Amino acid sequence: MQDLTATDVIATKRDGGALTDAQIDWAIAAYTNGTVAEEQMAALLMAIYLNGMSPREIAQWTRAMINSGRRVDLSRLPRPTVDKHSTGGVGDKISLILVPLVAACGAIVPQMAGRGLGHTGGTLDKMESIPGWRADLAVEEFVRQLDGVGGAICAASEDLAPADRALYALRDATATVASIPMISASIMSKKIAAGPRNLVLDVKVGTGAFMTEAGAATELAHTMIDLGAAHGVSVSALLTDMSTPLGHAVGNAVEVSEALDVLAGGGPADVVSLTLALADEMLRLARVDADPAAVLASGKAMDTWRAMVLAQGGDPDAALPAPRHVERVTAATDGRVDTLDAMQVARAAWRLGSGRARKEDAVQAAAGVVCLAKPGDPVTRGAPLFELRTDTPDRLDAAMRDLATAVTIAPAGEPSHAGRELVLATIRHDEPTR
């Protein structure tokens, strides 16, 4: 690899050629150690964005990013390991319920999660609204907690696929994020490095997802499933609808509250339904014979949740942060909620302070939107549609403008578009199934 140069690697991909394994290994290692300059890697990323990568190239790129840091060894744990990854949604608090539920069913769930950026909320931001809870665990603490409790949600350690962290920031700055090879390698390098033997992907599709078209979402799912196979991890995917927010709550503390409702045996039907669908698939992959619906009803998942929170310094009995200001948006007419645009709701929650525009931005734990009426619900003029929560009232006007176009109300007698399917397809190996 001594004869390789950045310009030769860039030129190969610029001209539509396939990068060799040696070129990929060299480029990732040289960029990570500073030998390849930012502008050179930016040029390579743009060439990949424009010309794509073969399955072999994607697998090797992923392998090189994994090899840039540490790979967690979970082989000594006494039960099968299975993780879940969502490509990002609106009101997506599923991990908060799913991790303790699947752990209570008998699997081990090692979830290293992230913080939100842009319109999608981050699992760690939600968890950090719990007083005392800490996201950072040393790898040794992480493994001990998995052994003792069965599940953990924490931040990825700095030595886990560090090349991906640097590359993601550069992709964001060079408008090359929306590349299926790069998205797949980014997600899978971190998940594989975290050590699970099985992984279920929740690939979102719709107005509130990064992938708005089912075809692109399906391609992404197949690419990640193939990457798992290339690295010895069993992977399957559920394509799920993200045109309407999941549940009623969109934010941080407010989503934790809704997740607790589900763990207590209640909560919105769509959140419960998707949680159980993902749990079934995780248990199938891990070959654990359990009924997640029965375990949820028994209260065992709540017990595991409390143990997880306590293990990371949190107080499961403490009150969640409350907003300083609450405002409601009401319906302008009688009828029935026909559509509720996930992206518009996400933007409103973001403006209220629940999300960040840059990685270094702070978030408000109490900020968010509660959707008081969902598609199919009848409404009357003046009835509340949304509850806006924030600590900074000067943000309310902008959020209200977003919500003004978020909902459509149809006359009560018109046919409804509310009967959506949450799980659009299940993808295992090479074949999608309904």
Catalytic residue among 95, 186, 234, 354: 186
Q: What does DSSP say about strands 198-205 and 82-86: parallel, antiparallel, or unpaired?
A: parallel
Catalytic choice (83, 92, 164, 226): 164
Encode 222-257: b = buried (16+ Cβ within 10 Å), e = exposed.
bbbbbbbebbebbbbbbbbbbbbbbbbbbbbbbbbb
Spatial distance between the Cα atoms of 408 and 351, rounded to a whole number of angstroms: 21
Element (H, E) at 200: strand 198-205
Through-space distance between the first and last CA atoms of the chain, rounded to whole angstroms: 47
Distance CA 106, CA 375 (A): 36
Q: Is 429 a catalytic site residue?
A: no
Q: Which of 132, 134, 144, 83 is nearest to 108 (CA)?
A: 83
Task: Let me know if 70 is a catalytic residue.
Answer: no
In the residue annotation, 334 being an active-site residue is answered as no
| Catalytic residue selected from 171, 231, 248, 347 | 171
Instruction: Name, in order, each residue with C-beta under 8 angstroms of 344's C-beta and a sequence gap of 6 or more.
Output: 402, 403, 405, 406
- Quick one: which of 269, 420, 405 has its CA closest to 345? 405
Write down the catalytic residue from 13, 63, 85, 336.
85
The one catalytic residue among 190, 197, 204, 248: 190
> Which helix (H) or strand (E) element contains residue 212?
none
Q: Quickly list DSSP for 154-192.
A: EEPPTTSSHHHHHHHHHHHHTT----HHHHHHHHHHHHH
Residue 296 CA from chain centroid, whole number: 22
Question: What is the C-alpha to C-alpha distance for residues 26 and 130, in angstroms, rounded to an integer?
Answer: 43
Query: Within 13 Å of residue 349, how many CA atoms lie on the same side as its CB?
Result: 36
54 Rama class: left (phi>0) / alpha (psi -120 to 50) / beta: beta
186 belongs to the catalytic site: yes
204 labelled catalytic: no
Query: Hey, which residues are catalytic here?
Result: 85, 164, 171, 186, 190
